[in-house]
Structure 1
Amino acid sequence: PELVLPTVINTIPIGMKGFLIAGLMAAGMSTFDSTVNAGAAYWVKDIYQLYINKKANRKQLMMQSYLASILIVVIGLGLMLVFKNINEVWGWITMSIGSGMLIPMLLRWYWSRMNGYGFAIGTVSGMVAAIIFKAVAPAGVTEYTMFMVASSASLIGTILGTLLNSPTDEKVLAKFYKITRPFGSWGRFKKQLTAQQQVGIDAENRRDILSTIMAVPWQIAFFLFMLSLVFKTWGNVVILGLIMAVLTVGLYFNWFRHLSTEVKIEE
């Protein structure tokens, strides 16, 4: 990807070149400052004001915001010295940093014992493991290895963080189950419903599994379909279009037409 932009810039007229560079810089800065501001806000509002200094005044909060923004930029500049290209950064973010969040985000739906502490500790554990492993791992380590390291650390952190802290209030869990109706270890809440509601939820869950099997290929086919249109590979367009059509029909009969008849649980 790094080789494309210089080639494009060198082949367009000088006036248009200025507009292109200005537009790219504006787009880059809008993303950059949004990320910096969001990171500083997380620190100030979610950590510093909530746990460290609950009575912080405006001046103290602004100072923390400035310091957090500077630290984020310095860390970002430091990481530039570690990575050699954009693909390496992207692979590390998606397969390593991202996988640190995957386990907590999955377990929260299926493990009723999980709480906020488990989610937070699991996420931090996975991210810290990803950063440390990137720093000490030898060159050429595969992305799936990074995924396994970060996921394992995240799983351990999630379980320990959950079990070492008190469970979520039963009323909150019961309300969550009635609204979301997930799979997993929610049997005690399911038993609180009527037999008819339980049968309806079981049917919904079976349809959800089949719909997922169809929806994921549909999304991939749609992505490839649009790429094929751009590159004008019409044979692929026809094949992918047929695949999408078949999956769309399947999703309609298995999922969409049942939305109006889903189980309604009164609070």
Structure 2
Amino acid sequence: VLIIKTPHEVKELNAKRESGEIADPGLTVSVHRDSYEPYAFGHSRIGTYVSNPGPDSTNELGFLAVGTAISFFIFWPFAATGQPSNMVRLLSFKDTRTLRYSIVTVAIYYSIIYFSLIIIFCCARVLMPGMEIAPDQTMPAFAAHLTRDAGVPWLAGLLVAAPFAAVMSSVDSFLLVVSSAVVRDIYQQHVDRQAPEKMIKILSYSVTVIVGVLAVLCVLNPPQYLQDLIVFATGGLAACFLIPMLLSLYWPRMTANATIAAMLGGTGMHMGLTCWGYLANNEFRAYSFLGLNPFIWDLVGSLALALVVIALGPKPNRDLVIKFFHDTSASRN
């Protein structure tokens, strides 16, 4: 069974049949449309493909509406800051001067990388029309298409190997982070402080295997787009850690109870909107209240719960305030 996904593949297959590359001369390829459902946004709208927001089959606000653009303008910079792996790097700077230089360097680096990606995939949209229905396959398919036409098909392997190597590196890092958090931060700190090294080793291996198996089981029923999973994971981590980190660094009134409350508030809001979206759309998609990405509401929920706990809870330890902020006013107010 040959599965054809794009009009480009249909055209290419018919060309091979006519040239004799395909053994069966009686083979014909056609596209049949069994049913038709109008788009939720953009149906029968003049100029829908050349004006914003674009047509969307499920979203009534359209594709890349203004609220979505604003959300992602906020999402990517702040969500990246809220990642635990990035927090460790941010805390490793020896002074603010190094941090400022790093910001400039990273800005230049990402500008070059992402500008190149934009040009490449705009070209892919023209050279391989129809890939919109399978966007996650665009990069490897485009690499194979270009290298085959250039007469160096082996180069596609190198081009595809680079992102897959990055993915594998990220996956094993997250496995180690989860294993370390469960074994070192939870078990060894709160269950058995005198646990022998052999037990720690066994638990580390066990947690790593269990998390890996759970990840494989989740992959058996993946979302329609890989980007949905990336946004869910990135937004969830930032919703949990961003507000607690910012308040802990810059506000002397922040307390341990408020930190836990902020983490629970952000995570709860994130999971709640995701479940709401899944029930409403019958697919893996978070609910966008007022057209804004759930990440915005995650931060609002996290901040609100932290402020409530700070207002109702005890004052922070005076010695800690003096140690980290050289200020005792927060503990007196």
The two structures share one fold, judged by TM-score above 0.5: yes
Alignment partner of 1:73 is 2:212: yes
1:147 match:
295
Counterpart of 2:324? 176
Rg larger in structure = 2
Contact persistence 2:321–2:331 (CA under 8 A): no
Worse-matched range after superposition: 29-38 or 67-76: 67-76
Identify unmatched segments of 5+ residues in structure 1. Answer: 179-185, 192-267
Matched, 1:134 2:274: yes
Q: Describe the shift of the 1:27–1:148 C-alpha distance in structure 2 as closer, same or farther (beyond 3 A).
A: closer
Contact 2:244 2:259 in 1 (8 A): yes
Q: Which structure carries more relative contact order (alpha carbon 8 Å, separation 6+)?
A: 2
Matches within 5 A, 1:1-267: 2=136, 3-12=138-147, 13-80=152-219, 81=221, 83-137=223-277, 138-139=280-281, 141-142=287-288, 144=292, 146-155=294-303, 157-159=305-307, 167-178=315-326, 188=329
TM-score between both structures, scaled by the size of structure 2: 0.46
Q: How far off its partner does 1:119 sit?
A: 1.7
Cα 1:63–1:56 change in 2 (3 A) is same
C-alpha contact (below 8 Å) 2:143/2:160 kept by paired residues: no
Query: Where do 5+ consecutive residues of structure 2 fail to align?
Result: 1-134
2: CA distance between counterparts of 1:123 and 1:107?
12
Q: Tell me the distance in 2 between the aligned counterparts of 1:8 and 1:77.
A: 27
Equivalent position amino acid for 1:53 in 2: D
More helix by share: 1
Deviations 1:223-260 (CA, angstroms, capped at 9, x unpaired): xxxxxxxxxxxxxxxxxxxxxxxxxxxxxxxxxxxxxx
Percentage identity across paired residues of the two chains: 21
Pairs aligned (count)? 184
Kindly tell me: are residues 16 and 87 of structure 1, through their superposed partners in 2, closer, same or farther at Cα, counting changes over 3 Å? Answer: same
Q: Give how far 1:148 is off.
A: 4.7
Letter in structure 1 aligned against 2:211:
I
Quote the Cα distance in structure 2 between the aligned partners of 1:134 and 1:82: 15
In the alignment, the residues of structure 2 paired with residue 162 and residue 70 of structure 1 have an alpha-carbon distance, to the nearest angstrom, of 39
Cα shift at 1:104: 1.8
Distance 1:58 1:120 in 2: 30
Displacement after TM superposition at 1:50 (Å): 0.5
- Tell me which amino acid in the other structure corresponds to 2:303: L
8 Å CA contact retained: 2:254, 2:310: yes
Cα deviation for residue 95 of structure 1 reads: 4.2
Separation of aligned partners in 2, 1:65 and 1:121: 28
1:97–1:126 Cα contact (<8 Å) kept: no
Q: Deviations over 1:33-65 (max 9, x none)?
A: 111112211111111110122121112212221
1:119–1:158 contact (8 Å) kept in structure 2:
yes
Name which of structure 1's ranges 148-157 and 30-39 shifts more when overlaid on structure 2: 148-157
Moved more, 160-169 or 66-75: 160-169
Q: Return the alpha-carbon distance in structure 2 between the equivalents of residues 96 and 28 of structure 1.
A: 19
Please list the CA deviations of residues 188-240 of structure 1 after superposition, one character each: whole Å capped at 9, or x if unmatched: 1699xxxxxxxxxxxxxxxxxxxxxxxxxxxxxxxxxxxxxxxxxxxxxxxxx
On the 8 A contact 1:174/1:189 being kept in 2, the answer is no
Would the aligned equivalents of 2:239 and 2:298 in 1 still touch at CA under 8 Å? yes
TM-score scaled by length of structure 1: 0.56
